[in-house]
Structure 1
Amino acid sequence: MTTHTRVRRTPWGDARFYIGIALVALSILGVWLIVNASRSTVPVLRADRTITQGEALSSSDFSVVDVSLGAASEGYLSPQDLAAGQIATRSMAEGELLSSAAVGDAADARTTTLVVESSVGLPAGIEPGTVVELWQAPPLDEGFDEPRILVADVTVASLVKTESMMAQDHPAVELVIDRSDVSDVLSAITGGAALSVVPMGSR
C-alpha cells in the first residue's frame, strides 16, 4: 500500500503571511500618523475684540495662539499672513480665529461707513458688531409718514459719543453700509427723515 506524505507548509512560505504582516504594519502606521497630526499645532491669529465688517485689520487687534486644526489650518491666517491694506469682509466676534475667508483688500471693499442719528434712541444691546435694520419715516407737511425699512442687514461699527444735550435725545451710530445704499441713506438724512436703528428680529 502506497502511503502519501503530506508536505507541511511553513507560515513564512505562504504569500498570505507576508500580506497580513504588511496590512498590520500599514494599520499601525496610519494610526501613528493620525495621532501625530492631532498633536501638532500651528500659530494662528485670534481676535482680541469685536471687529466689524469693513474695518482695517491690524496685528494689534489679534493675539497669536497655537491650535490643532489639522488640514483645516490652511483656511486660517498665521501672523506672517496679515498684510497692510487688508480689511474684514464680515464681522468677527472676540475670541474668533481669523479665517482667510474673512479677509479682503481695502481696494475691493463694497462697503463704507456713515454716521446716522436715531430719532427714537437706541435699543438696549446695540453695540459694535450688532446687525440692525435702518428704518425711515419720511417727513410730511405735518409730522412724518409711516416708518419703512430704508436699509436692511447693516452692521453697527461704533457708537458715536458726544457731550451735547441734543445727542442724548438723538444718539448717533456709525453703520457699515453697502456702497449701493449710500445714496438712499444720504437722501433720507438731508431730506429730514426720522431714522431709527432696529435690531434684526425685533419687529
Structure 2
Amino acid sequence: MAGWRDPRLWIGVALVAVSVVVGARVVGGADDTVAMWTVGTDLAEGTEVDPSDLVARRVRFADPSDAELYFTTGDALPTARHLARGVTAGELLPRTVLGEPDDETPLVSVSVPAVQLPPSVSAGSVVDVWILPASGSPESSKAKLAVADVRVADAPRGSADLAGSPTDRQLVLGIPDDGANLARVLTASGDGRLMLVGRG
C-alpha cells in the first residue's frame, strides 16, 4: 500500500495521461486538413491552367469556410480555365481566378528601367503606366499618365536583359488600344521612358 503513496508513481501516471491527451489532439488536428490544389509554377494572366500545373497539398484553415474560396482536389475543374490574373508557385488556386480568355485586350512586351519599376510588381499586379519626358525636353515638362489600371500579364525574371541592358525589366502588359495608347507606350518603351506605379 505504501507504493500508492509514492509521488513518483503519480507523476508517472500524470505524464502518461498528458501524453494521451496531446496525442489525441495532434491526431484530431490532422483530421482538420483539406486536400487543396496549389499552383506548381508561376503562371501568367491569360494562361490556360492544365491539371499538370497543379500540385495537391493538405491545408488547415483557421476558418473552415475559407476552403470554399479555393479548389479542392475533389473538385472538377471548369471547362473555362484561363487565368484572370497571374498566380505564383505554391499559391492556392482561387475559384474566382478561372474563366474565359480575354481576347479583346492586346498583350504587349515593353522594357522598363529597373529604377522606374516597383520591386513588388509581378504577374497579376495592376499598375499605372507613366511616360517620362524625352531627353532634352524643357525643365517644365512633366511625366504624363499614359494608361491607368493596366494588368501585368507576365514579368519574367530570367529575361531582364532582353532589352539590351541588365538594368531593364521586360514585362508583358495588357493595354487597351484606343488608337493611341499602344503607340505612345511602345515608343516610350524603346526610349527607356516608361515608369510603372503599382496599384496592387
Deviations 1:122-168 (A, max 9, x none): 2373663254332124769x64853212123332512473877x621
Whether the 8 Å CA contact 1:138–1:146 is kept in 2: the answer is: yes
* Rounded Cα–Cα distance in structure 1 between residues aligned with 2:129 and 2:146: 6
Whether the 8 Å CA contact 2:128–2:198 is kept in 1: the answer is: yes
* Rounded Cα–Cα distance in structure 1 between residues aligned with 2:185 and 2:198: 21
State the identity as a percent: 18
Q: Secondary structure of 2:114's match? A: coil
Inter-CA distance 65–182: structure 2 relative to 1 (3 Å threshold): farther
* Rounded Cα–Cα distance in structure 2 between residues aligned with 1:112 and 1:82: 27
Q: Does 1:86 align with 2:78?
A: no
Inter-CA distance 100–183: structure 2 relative to 1 (3 Å threshold): farther
Choose the corresponding residue for 1:67, options 30, 34, 59: 59
Q: Which runs of 5+ in 2 are unaligned?
A: 1-27
Aligned pairs for 1:21-32 within 5 A: none
* Rounded Cα–Cα distance in structure 1 between residues aligned with 2:167 and 2:182: 17
Choose the corresponding residue for 1:47, options 31, 34, 39: 39
Q: Does 1:173 align with 2:170?
A: yes
Whether the 8 Å CA contact 2:106–2:177 is kept in 1: the answer is: no
What TM-score results when the alignment is normalised by the length of structure 1?
0.57
Inter-CA distance 126–96: structure 2 relative to 1 (3 Å threshold): closer
* Rounded Cα–Cα distance in structure 1 between residues aligned with 2:92 and 2:121: 21
Aligned pairs for 1:149-164 within 5 A: 149-154=145-150, 155=152, 157-159=154-156, 161=159
Whether the 8 Å CA contact 1:135–1:148 is kept in 2: the answer is: yes
The corresponding residue for 2:181 is 185
Q: Secondary structure of 2:42's match? A: coil
The corresponding residue for 2:19 is none
Q: Secondary structure of 1:81's match? A: coil
* Rounded Cα–Cα distance in structure 2 between residues aligned with 1:172 and 1:132: 15
Choose the corresponding residue for 2:90, options 88, 92, 95: 95
Q: Secondary structure of 1:146's match? A: coil
Q: Does 1:146 align with 2:138?
A: no
Deviations 1:50-71 (A, max 9, x none): 3333333233332111234534
* Rounded Cα–Cα distance in structure 1 between residues aligned with 2:34 and 2:132: 52
* Rounded Cα–Cα distance in structure 2 between residues aligned with 1:111 and 1:163: 26
1:176 alignment partner AA: L
* Rounded Cα–Cα distance in structure 2 between residues aligned with 1:128 and 1:43: 27
Deviations 1:9-66 (A, max 9, x none): xxxxxxxxxxxxxxxxxxxxxxxxxxx8983543221123333333332333321112
Q: Secondary structure of 1:168's match? A: coil
What TM-score results when the alignment is normalised by the length of structure 2?
0.57
1:161 alignment partner AA: S
Inter-CA distance 62–199: structure 2 relative to 1 (3 Å threshold): farther
Whether the 8 Å CA contact 1:137–1:147 is kept in 2: the answer is: yes
Q: Secondary structure of 1:134's match? A: strand
RMSD between superposed Cα atoms in Å: 3.9
Give 1 or 2 for the bigger CA radius of gyration. Answer: 1
